[in-house]
Structure 1
């Protein structure tokens, strides 16, 4: 399976928080040659690759995406909804899929403004979904609480950039896929567990579950972060195409941070540094404090337009993130661990 084909498949697939199992067949097909695969009771997907010794490293990327849920079926044949993690401004005129008794296409429409004072007031309560069905048909096919996901095919842009939905965080799963492929014919010192975690977008729940199930010696969260360029988060230095972003701050083990930077330098892999003095808002936050404390790293891929249907990522950043993780794991020896964890 080619890297771009895999990325396209997982980004275009639907897996809102709580339904990560919808991704399982794609993950199984992509990762089956790299290790043993199983799923937890609450939809964490695990890929286990055996190493030479008993120590374990966990590489985690969350599988879920931001989503909507049906909250009302109006007598006029429209759907009202609640959103998780999505700015209402980004929803106007977007295509969506309602996951009812069958998949139903719809569009998000904005209630027209008939008065100047109401113009530009894009609020969730003024948005509704039009499927074309009347109330009777819609009421038969859709139930309150049904999931709704954004609908967008991935497209290629210039300079190695691609655009689509759910790049957060399927880009990181694609980086794990590249990492696993790089290590296919390698038996590392440490056992590896790749985790596609559940419910990150609603509170990093899968990260804690996986940490207690696996009890790794090292945990590495792989996620996306905000680009710092035009229209991005100008407080950050992150740039698309300039490599994976290594986080530094209290959420991260400083010796492991220095170790992975040394790996990047040794293998001439471009990297960036991001300072996070508090909650990183990622799975790393929950991994670190699980099971009495797990030395943790956070490696991120910069993207533009996060939590929209047009998230943009650079393919080189995905590839270099996968390469960095593979070289870090390959070079890491079990007899190093005690020295890394002592201060």
Structure 2
């Protein structure tokens, strides 16, 4: 699996929350050799099935990695061709000023976020964070051309800049949560070499950044898995973030807390130790903030686990991951799926 190339394509695509179809359709093409069948559901989530070889009815295992991203949406075009916009999802508003952006209209327009320069602002204005309502995107085009190419509701994204850094690290927009889609691809590829009795569903879920986890909840309702994993990102260590963060290159994290079924956590840890995968335990004392929080309470309840990939600079245009962590997260997921049989599922029901 060429993780770097896969990430380069995934991060190139626009998929702000509510407009994820480009990524879902890309997964239909890119993962076709890895699954037995695939489709998009009514909400637009990708669902791929890798069948197990056990007798029917086989255990059903689902892993969801959300495909939506934060960004913005055009709210108005003002005289002069200036584009007003509003954030979608958890955008860090401190970073918007002077940011290079892409507006995805009839074609992709590059632009920059402009605001009043400090020379013409009052001392009080300079002390506060500039409200988004006072920011705008300047494409340099005449107003008539902007109005011809852009409509209210068009997506706004940080500029695409995919950087291959030193020591196996990559920086780009939208590695939250494209890193986890790459991990799912690794898992699917690894499962081709492993005997597994369970049916495995790889889900690219929509809507996670907005809250409510609609894609993961709808897919869980439809698939009725015995076990569901959320594959997401977590906070990687850097200066000033030593608490509750994890080292890059140190392997994925395994979630521990009320959103994580204890027997499943025990299996994940045992598998990681058996096959030599480095990992860290991530204590999640409340809502995990992942798709697992929604999947856990679908129908009569679902056993849930969380695998996370350390990521620096979350929700910025320069998110940073270590490719080795992505590979290890995918390997861990595949190896766990290969250990799940009907007897283990029955034990979960008795918990």
TM-score by length of 1: 0.96
Once the two structures are TM-superposed, the CA of residue 126 in structure 1 deviates from its matched residue by 2.9
Partner of 2:67: 63
CA contact (8 A) 2:60 2:199 kept: yes
Paired residue for 1:91, among 96, 101, 107? 96
Paired residue total:
342
Q: Map of 1:127-276 to 2, 5 A cutoff?
A: 127-203=135-211, 204-232=213-241, 234-276=242-284
Q: Which stretches in structure 2 are left out of the alignment for 5+ residues?
A: none
Partner Cα distance (2:49, 2:156) in 1: 32
Deviations 1:284-305 (A, max 9, x none): 1000011221000011111011
Alignment partner of 1:27 is 2:27 = yes
Alignment partner of 1:333 is 2:341 = yes
Once the two structures are TM-superposed, the CA of residue 244 in structure 1 deviates from its matched residue by 0.4
Q: Which stretches in structure 1 are left out of the alignment for 5+ residues?
A: none
Alignment partner of 1:116 is 2:120 = no
Once the two structures are TM-superposed, the CA of residue 187 in structure 1 deviates from its matched residue by 4.1
Q: Map of 1:299-314 to 2, 5 A cutoff?
A: 299-314=307-322
Partner Cα distance (2:116, 2:220) in 1: 45
Partner Cα distance (2:25, 2:42) in 1: 16
CA contact (8 A) 2:112 2:139 kept: yes
Which deviates more, 190-199 or 49-58? 49-58
Once the two structures are TM-superposed, the CA of residue 181 in structure 1 deviates from its matched residue by 0.6
CA contact (8 A) 1:95 1:152 kept: no
Partner of 1:73: 77
What secondary structure sits across from 1:24 in the alignment? helix
CA contact (8 A) 1:18 1:43 kept: no
What secondary structure sits across from 1:302 in the alignment? strand
CA contact (8 A) 1:68 1:147 kept: yes
Partner Cα distance (1:67, 1:175) in 2: 23
Once the two structures are TM-superposed, the CA of residue 29 in structure 1 deviates from its matched residue by 2.7
Moved over 6 A (4+): none
CA RMSD for the aligned pairs?
A: 1.5
Distance 1:17-1:214 versus aligned 2 partners, 3 A rule? same
What secondary structure sits across from 1:222 in the alignment? strand
Partner of 2:45: 44
What secondary structure sits across from 1:297 in the alignment? strand
What secondary structure sits across from 1:325 in the alignment? helix
Partner Cα distance (1:98, 1:322) in 2: 33
